[in-house]
Amino acid sequence: MRSTASELNWSGTLTYTAERIVRPGTVAEAAEIVAGAPRVHGLGTRHSFNDVADGPGVLLDLTGIPTDLVIDADDRTATLGAGTRYGVVAPDIDRAGFALHNMGSLPHISVGGAVATGTHGSGTTLGSLSAAVRSFEMLGPDGSLRTLDRTDPAFPGTVLHLGLFGIVTRVTLDLEPTYRMRQDSYGPFPWSTFTDHVADIHGAGYSVCSYTVFGDEISEVLVKTRLPAGADDADAPDELFGAPRLPGSPGDGHHTARDGSVGPWWDRLPHFPIESVPSHGSEVQSEHFVPIRHAAAALDALRGLADRIQPHLHVCELRTMAADPFWLSPTQGEDVLCIAFTWKKHPEAVAALLPDLEARLAPFDGRPHWGKMSSLDGDAIAALYPRVADVRALIARADPDRTFASAFGERVLRA
């Protein structure tokens, strides 16, 4: 077991304020720490840009607990240690003849941390990574293990938990038969062509991502097409809504191949290969989810801030995601457009801009990503989540002495 004093998050923009960070090597060690410490909070691979993963006492880093991947072919599930990075197990799942329904842009994040914040890829008919969770094991405040599955009435209020309910040790994910994929780039798209057809353009493939800097155009639309297992070739249309197919780029160690070549799902769903270190240290992010029916109006509203956005922006990525029933999910109740800003590493300037940016999205009930920068406080958040009072009641019942409390939870959820 390794124990350290304060450390930084992935982007280097946040110093954890916890008393110490402990990395147990077994679930039994983790349970002992939970049972003995007055304040504990779960920590994944530290990719969140805000203090959602910070806590006042012990930060329990789950990445030291072995993956111990168990694939149940009959049940179509994979069970693994919560601190496991997606990219580490995805090839093994593929070799066993199975696949995940989606992945985030980064395969380096932990399963437990991704699920806790509703991390997502893109796909109009695809739920977030939390939606793939069939069950999970969690240490409660006394250090005892409890399993929650989809049949439990508390599941929709707990699966996306922000670390506030306990320490998740193992997660069981839905699998489907393996498949292959290709990625093709199209562009540029005049702004109005894109905004007139957002839903159709994002419905043009299994998973579609679009990129803009809020000028006159959407520079690129990346279409990820799903192909049957065993496929090593396939056709793609030469144009999309009048925009030509671009040559794209082969996989180069920094990005997964965008040149139409066919590869395994785990090497096409993420934007970055597991062996890469994407833009390490040079970015911060914010992201908002708006109902897809408001997509055009929300994008136009943001474009009105282009002069203030552009000096700090690397790029804005647009994705879509299907509704789910989870109480704290940014996509709870309605299909959404995800508007994700990758900013230059100008955290103070971005923080100063966010209140105005978020005011522009307020008429569309823009919900912020739980793991990224936002200026919204507890009252503003509560107004966006109809079940937030039920979440607070669930937390009070599961953890009455608030062993798993965090400043983020108190500030943003009043929990």
Chain positions contacting ligand FAD, by CB under 6 A = 10, 41-48, 52-53, 62, 82, 104-106, 109-110, 112-114, 116-117, 119-120, 162-163, 167-168, 278, 369, 371
With a CB cutoff of 8 Å and minimum separation 6, the contacts of 16 are 6, 7, 8, 9, 43, 53, 54, 59
- Give phi and psi for 349, each to the nearest 5: -65, -40
Instruction: CB nearer to ligand FAD: give 194 or 404.
Output: 404
CA 237 to chain CA centroid, nearest Å: 30
Q: Which of 172, 168, 170 is nearest to 43 (CA)?
A: 168
**Separation CA 297–CA 181 (nearest Å):** 32
Q: Decide: 100 and 184 in contact? Cβ < 8 Å.
A: no
Q: Output the smallest distance, CB 218 to ligand FAD, in A.
A: 18
**3-class state of residue 139 by DSSP:** strand
Query: What type of residue is 147?
Result: T
Query: What type of residue is 372?
Result: K
Instruction: CB nearer to ligand FAD: give 87 or 291.
Output: 87
Instruction: CB nearer to ligand FAD: give 245 or 254.
Output: 254
**Separation CA 173–CA 77 (nearest Å):** 5
Instruction: CB nearer to ligand FAD: give 8 or 73.
Output: 8
CA 192 to chain CA centroid, nearest Å: 28
Instruction: CB nearer to ligand FAD: give 17 or 192.
Output: 17
**What DSSP line would sit under 281-326, residue for residue?**
TSEEEEEEEEEGGGHHHHHHHHHTTHHHHGGGEEEEEEEEE--B--
Q: Output the smallest distance, CB 278 to ligand FAD, in A.
A: 5
Instruction: CB nearer to ligand FAD: give 41 or 180.
Output: 41
Q: Output the smallest distance, CB 235 to ligand FAD, in A.
A: 28
Instruction: CB nearer to ligand FAD: give 293 or 345.
Output: 345
Q: Output the smallest distance, CB 105 to ligand FAD, in A.
A: 3
Q: Output the smallest distance, CB 192 to ligand FAD, in A.
A: 27
Q: Output the smallest distance, CB 161 to ligand FAD, in A.
A: 7
Q: Output the smallest distance, CB 266 to ligand FAD, in A.
A: 14
Q: Decide: 85 and 274 in contact? Cβ < 8 Å.
A: yes
- Give phi and psi for 390, each to the nearest 5: -65, -35
Q: Output the smallest distance, CB 240 to ligand FAD, in A.
A: 22
**Separation CA 412–CA 67 (nearest Å):** 32
Q: Output the smallest distance, CB 216 to ligand FAD, in A.
A: 26
Instruction: CB nearer to ligand FAD: give 105 or 195.
Output: 105
Q: Which of 170, 163, 112, 111 is nearest to 137 (CA)?
A: 170
**Separation CA 112–CA 281 (nearest Å):** 23
Q: Would the CA dihedral through 368, 370, 374, 378 be positive or negative? A: positive
Instruction: CB nearer to ligand FAD: give 367 or 369.
Output: 369
Query: What type of residue is 321?
Result: M
**Residue, CB closest to ligand FAD:** 113
